[in-house]
Chains A and B, each alone.
Chain A
């Protein structure tokens, strides 16, 4: 009797162990199921490289190039801001800060990671957006730049914590060796520790960027949501994620618009999948 019970429990455990694989596949299947229906009426190239996104005009124009470029522009801006600051902060925490400061700083970073994105979006709307508007004398502060700055903040906890782990995992002997040769602390960080931790830091940067591309609410609230081909960082843009979030509520289930939004979901899923798998490879290379 006990054996049967344990047999069942162990099978259940195995089943749950496989649940993650099951869910990843399930997500992909359901995105494909709804998204691929679009390509019966719209060509893949027209969808990916079409320059006009007018989903509710007659006939609908469903080109997501402006949305892809919007996402890329905002992400690029966020990366430029968050990578140096994030890696710098990780270095400070891992190498320079005294133990008590270190605990305090780590708590601060955890705090930032915990703030819901809609709260950051709200704060961005009431503080950052007016600043951007006034500083650059723009008609509106809802721009790609505002989105980039806010998203940079959301990427930082990821970048800092993973980069910091990578820096910690550099063997102590490397550092001691460099000191013994007469290197200063900074020379050691710069020439020995950073290169040794580089694959982990790269993974940190990639996961931070993954977080940025997938971020939805804050971006929707502060980038202005204009689905046009972006030509300046001081203009409103619309990202892939914001398009889904803003339009799915109005799209009729089973309509071309509904399928198109799922197709956008497929694009996002593939991007995040590629980023996560690559980052994981870098992390394992480190070990």
Chain B
């Protein structure tokens, strides 16, 4: 009887821990949505910031984030995908592979602000790109590389081995097999990883602080060597650096950023779900 009582108490605490995580998450989302919605209108989404960011819209920040994220993915997707192909199709189980995997884990664990320092030292100062979309995108690109590699590798490895054997036995070369058989079957997984990487890049602030983000730039960028505003940095600025910004504007900005990031995650989850349902093996 005592064992059962202990079990009841223990399970209660496990449930409690779970609720302590899930309920605040729900609350955070509800609060931001509830207080942010009143700020959202056409002007807020399409106008430039006015009166020292206290009114007007956040369009330059939205556009800046889209530019940065696109730049990051243009850089990271090809490298990440090829790296994943190497790991899943070519790498043998040896020390080199072990070191590559360890490097990926470490790349994923480097603090985001250290990426910012690195981007500053390498792209802004050493390559003299200056604080620009180019520097920011490359920095974000390297940061999301491990996400793309890991997800793509899992997708590639989940393609059954027999698919490859059939292709090879028909006389296809290794690369033909990868391109025509393995890759098409892994696309949903690769897409999921890519979108998650995009979401991460869109939400990060520290890596873009010294490499691209502009405090206040009420015009649109003309080239990749321009600075831009970015949503996460803009939220930081209006919440801590600029006094007397209406609460509504802050919540509105947080909501736009949150929706952008969660939307990407949702798309990734849906693709994964659809794929699992349709999977033929």
Contact = CB atoms under 8 A, between A and B. Distances in A.
B155 interface: no
A269 interface: yes
B11 A96 contact: yes
A96 B14 contact: yes
B204 to A, nearest CB: 7
Given A88-B18, A221-B240, A245-B206, A253 B125 contact: yes
Contacts of B32: 119, 123
A215 B109 CA distance: 10
A56 interface: no
Contacts of A110: 265, 269
Contact of B90 (A14, A121, A160, A184): A14
A214 B204 CA distance: 13
Interface in A1-50: 2, 6, 9-10, 12-21, 23-24, 26-27, 30-31, 33-34
B265 A125 contact: no
Interface string A62-87: 00000000000000000000001111
Nearest to B110: A272
B205 interface: yes
A121 B18 CA distance: 22
Nearest to A23: B142
A119 B203 contact: yes
B149 A122 contact: no
A270 to B, nearest CB: 10
Given A241-B111, A265-B117, A92 B17 contact: yes
A134 interface: no
B82 interface: yes
A34 B124 CA distance: 13
Interface string B259-271: 0011001000100
A111 B6 CA distance: 32
Interface in A102-134: 105, 107-112, 114-123, 125-127
B274 to A, nearest CB: 15
A217 B175 contact: no
Contacts of B240: 125, 221
A279 B108 CA distance: 13
Contacts of B39: none
Interface residues of A, number: 88
B166 interface: no
Interface stretch (B50-58, B97-105, B157-165): B97-105
Interface string B168-179: 000001110000
Contacts of B29: 111
A31 B121 contact: yes
Interface string B200-211: 001111100110
A166 interface: no
B122 A26 contact: yes
A144 interface: no
A115 B235 CA distance: 13
B63 to A, nearest CB: 18
Nearest to A215: B111
Contact of B232 (A118, A184, A187): A118
Contacts of A190: 10
B79 interface: yes
A279 B87 CA distance: 21
Contacts of A213: 111
A280 interface: yes
Contacts of A118: 203, 205, 232-233, 235-236, 257
B82 A16 contact: yes
Contacts of A116: 202-205, 232, 257-258, 261
B126 interface: yes
Interface in A196-254: 207, 210, 213-217, 221, 241, 244-245, 248-249, 253
A115 B258 contact: yes
B31 interface: yes
The winner among B28, B86, B111, B209 for most chain A CB atoms within 10 A is B111
A12 to B, nearest CB: 6
The winner among A20, A87, A241, A269 for most chain B CB atoms within 10 A is A20
Contacts of B239: 121-122, 125, 221
A14 B14 contact: no
Contacts of A273: 106, 109
A259 to B, nearest CB: 11
16 contacts: A10-B174, A20-B145, A21-B100, A27-B114, A31-B114, A89-B20, A96-B11, A97-B18, A109-B21, A117-B204, A126-B250, A153-B21, A207-B109, A210-B109, A265-B118, A272-B109
Cβ-closest 8 pairs across A and B: A214-B111, A116-B203, A17-B86, A88-B17, A16-B82, A186-B7, A20-B103, A276-B109
